[in-house]
Amino acid sequence: MDNRAIGIFDSGLGGLTAAEELSKLLPDEHIVYLSDSYNFPYGEKTREKIIGMSRNDMRFLLSKDVKAVFIACGTATSNALEVLAEESPVPVFGVVEPAVIEAVSLTKNNKIGLLATRASVAAGTYQRLINELKPELEVTAKACPKFATMVEDGIFDKNDERVLKAVEEYLPPLKQAGVDTVILGCTHYPLLADVITEYMGMNVRLISAGAAAARKLCAYLRENELACEKRAPRTDYFTTGSTENFAHTAALMLRRDLSPQLCGIEPFDKDGNI
């Protein structure tokens, strides 16, 4: 047993979807969640800056004496996971590989769609791993820069005209390709799952990268006897951005007030330096 906390970071609030899944799987764990909202969105930045900012996120979480770090950000995973895992004294988990494994196992027609940030699509990590596991699969990848920003602004109702317009802008290539499985490669995107399903059709399976990674982390901790002993669950939330904005959007996403557990911290600068 290891009663230290699990650290989770994202460029914003999208990682809350992954944190919620992890809390359901491991209800006794202490979780430390970091939102680097000051530097949001990571998906529009260069690989070098993404690595720099992710290192800052790691340093903060390690200062909290965590036993593992969960990168609940597709962009940071795609661009910085290998660097962070090599430098970290604790295990580091990303969202890409677990989602790819689930998608490859579930597709029936060998056609997979990927919705992700510009930086994730450009990095090609999702596409490369899919090709390594099953080269004959066809992958249709589409960058969706508006999706994460809308979710951060609390805009994810399936009937909102702005949401519908973005879906009609991004999803046609996937529908035309006839994909039967879609990876939601950014942890913000599950908040748009309803409208994506309505557009793509009920027969298209959506894979939440954050949820898939939470399942992998849960299995790892249990298999290695690192899960904590039974106790009252606790999650501490930290943000480099506005605590008011975080609390407002988080309440819309999770339907509860996180303010009592939320703390603002000094922001990391735009070049990935503390």
Q: Which residues are catalytic?
A: 73, 186
Q: At 272, phi and psi to the nearest 5?
A: 80, 25
What sign results for the dihedral spanned by CA atoms 44, 48, 54, 59?
Answer: negative
Residue 250's alpha-carbon distances to 31, 113, 152, 246, 261, in angstroms, are 16, 28, 9, 6, 12
CA distance 30 to 162: 37
Q: Please list, in sequence order, all residues whose beta carbon lies within 8 angstroms of the beta carbon of residue 106, skipping any fewer than 6 positions away.
A: 181, 205, 207
Residue 168's alpha-carbon distances to 106, 144, 206, 229, 257, in angstroms, are 25, 11, 17, 47, 32
Tokens representing residue 35 in the block: 């939102």
Q: At 66, phi and psi to the nearest 5?
A: -80, 155
SS3 assignment, position 8: strand
In DSSP terms, 68 is beta-bridged to 6
